[in-house]
Structure 1
Amino acid sequence: MLSTFDLAGHVVGLIVDRDLTDDIVDEIIAEVKSKLEIHDKINVFIELEKGRHITFKALWKGIIFKYSNSDHFDKIAIVTDSSWFQNAVNLSDSLLDVDVRTFDLKDRLEAIQWISL
């Protein structure tokens, strides 16, 4: 299930409690697009709960969406204990003009503070 919450008007908060598949990425994209109807630029917080995995297809779909919409993102926080996912995010987002940071699950509060500013 994909849970959403509001941190601030310009922030989309998402918690994924199952494996991150391309179907879940479609749900995330829909949430982001609905927030973009209200705000020109947003921050995105995505937390992948402990033990959850991401498929390559989902990762690729997310990367394509971020690159094609990068001018609408200010900050993106990815919270997960998956080191390969953190590394993939850091590598793929190094070319974006968006402030993207990855956080371990234990640093969730730090991520929430950072993304809310």
Structure 2
Amino acid sequence: MITTDHKENRVDVTVFGEFTLADYKEFEEVVNYKIQFEGPVDLFFDLRQMNGFTVDMALEEIRFARAHAHDFSRIAILTEDQWLTWSAWLSQIFVDAEVRVFQLADDAEAWLGGAEVPVA
């Protein structure tokens, strides 16, 4: 299950439990709308409560990222999981956005707001 919240030029996503294809499609809808009417957006993913993801979701993520390679400015990922940190860095192959992983929500928020936040 996911929750989404959107602000001007930004989409926040929090994942609870397993991240499924249906959840990702919900995320895509919100992002596609924002891109259409606002241009490139920032993303904030809170993955601290995520317990895993489905294979079809992972494949859709790759497809979506490739189709929208130039539509994101900054992507902040909030997690303490080393596997998710590694996969976040790998995802930079598919998008032109700056991608950063954070352990503290305040640091992620500050960075998305334009502040210089040191890499942990």
TM range (shorter): 0.7 to 0.9
The alpha-carbon distance between structure 1 residues 13 and 51, as it changes in their structure 2 partners (threshold 3 A), is closer
Q: Which amino acid aligns with 1:27?
A: E
Give a deviation string over 1:2-43, Cα, whole Å, max 9, x none.
22224x411111111221112111111111112112211110
Per the normalisation by structure 2, the TM-score is 0.81
Paired positions, count: 114
| Larger proportion of strand | 2
SS, match of residue 18 in structure 2: coil
Matched, 1:41 2:16: no
- Runs of 5+ consecutive residues of structure 1 not aligned to the other structure: none
Match of 1:5 in 2: 5
Instruction: Give identity over the alignment, percent.
Output: 24
The alpha-carbon distance between structure 1 residues 85 and 56, as it changes in their structure 2 partners (threshold 3 A), is farther
Per the normalisation by structure 1, the TM-score is 0.83
Match of 2:113 in 1: 116
Higher relative contact order (CA 8 A, sep 6+): 1
SS, match of residue 64 in structure 1: helix
Which segment drifts farther, 84-93 or 24-33?
84-93
- Runs of 5+ consecutive residues of structure 2 not aligned to the other structure: 115-120
Deviation of residue 94 (structure 1)?
3.8
C-alpha distance in 2 between matches for 1:56 and 1:89: 16
Runs of 4+ in 1 over 3 A off after TM superposition: none
Aligned-residue CA RMSD in angstroms? 1.8
